Homo-oligomer: A and B are copies of this chain.
Amino acid sequence: MNQIGHLAGATMQCAGQSSSEAGRRAQRCRSCTVRKNALFVGLSPTELDEIAPAVPDIVVPAGETLYDAESRADSLFIIRRGVVKLVNYLPDGSYRIVRLARRTDVLALETLLGEPCDHTAEALTEVEVCRVPIGVVRMVMERQAWLSTRMIHHWHLAVQTAHGWLTRYATGGARQRMARFLADLHDECVSEACPRPCFEVPSRDDVGAILGITKETASRLISDFRRSGLLCKVDARRIEVDRERLEEVAAAEA
């Protein structure tokens, strides 16, 4: 429907067509700290300047849709900041979240194969993404063989993550699954080198859609964890967890 329109709009917002805008983008790409983890790690500064103008960066507010399932995208999205959920809607209106994507993750890879998007991608927090037209990707791929390998790594990451979700979030009791999920969020946070490892938990509905439980059960479990001292609020939105004890709960065979 309108997510393309939305993005086009957003693009226009920050695009302009002036050479100063192109210059800004070049500067952005040169100093980008995400790049080395994502696609274009091997490009020379010159090459970078060449593609930068064609790669708009977009800020998407929380709750907005990046793209819809079944739609045709013409770009990949590299996440620079924020969290995006990839959602599969079921015929009966309920939904299942199959992945959370963050900094350095690349979305809509299927576009490169000429296929429609596999999921709906919604911003969970405010998100900043670079929209890389597939034409640019193809061009770089032709000139730089390593990009294929680079791309494959992202695919493989997607496979590993999905299998991880199957074994960790869809196996065992709700309590274990919640413990594993919170532990993973914690680790994610640690790996980003936050000074104090605290993080934001998605809405109860979303947690439910991740773990395959109801929002009520999700709520109960979190409350229960708090009462047991497994976690505590650090402010209105963020929490801090006891990683050790969480791990015990996650492994409990009862």
Contacts and interface: CB of A to CB of B under 8 A. Distances in A.
Interface of A: 88, 90-92, 94, 96, 98-99, 109-110, 112-113, 115, 118-119, 148-149, 151-153, 155-156, 158-160, 162-163, 165-167, 169-172, 212, 251, 253
Contact of A158 (B88, B119, B149, B159): B159
A96 B171 contact: yes
A90 B212 contact: no
Contact of A212 (B91, B151, B170): B170
Contact of A90 (B90, B109, B118, B167): B167
A171 B165 CA distance: 12
A26 to B, nearest CB: 29
Nearest to A112: B152
A94 B172 CA distance: 10
Contacts of A165: 162, 166
Nearest to A162: B162
9 cross-chain pairs, A with B, having the tightest CB-CB distances, nearest first: A162-B162, A170-B170, A155-B155, A148-B148, A88-B167, A98-B163, A96-B167, A158-B159, A92-B253
A170 B149 CA distance: 31
A168 B66 CA distance: 24
Nearest to A166: B98
Contacts of A152: 112-113, 148, 151-152, 155
Given A163-B118, A166-B165, A170-B170, A251 B155 contact: no
11 contacts: A88-B166, A91-B251, A92-B251, A96-B166, A113-B153, A151-B152, A152-B155, A155-B158, A155-B159, A166-B170, A169-B170
Nearest to A113: B156
Contacts of A96: 166-167, 170-171
Nearest to A158: B159
A33 to B, nearest CB: 24
A163 B160 contact: no
A151 B119 CA distance: 22
Contacts of A98: 163, 166-167
A164 to B, nearest CB: 9
A110 B171 CA distance: 24
Contacts of A115: 156
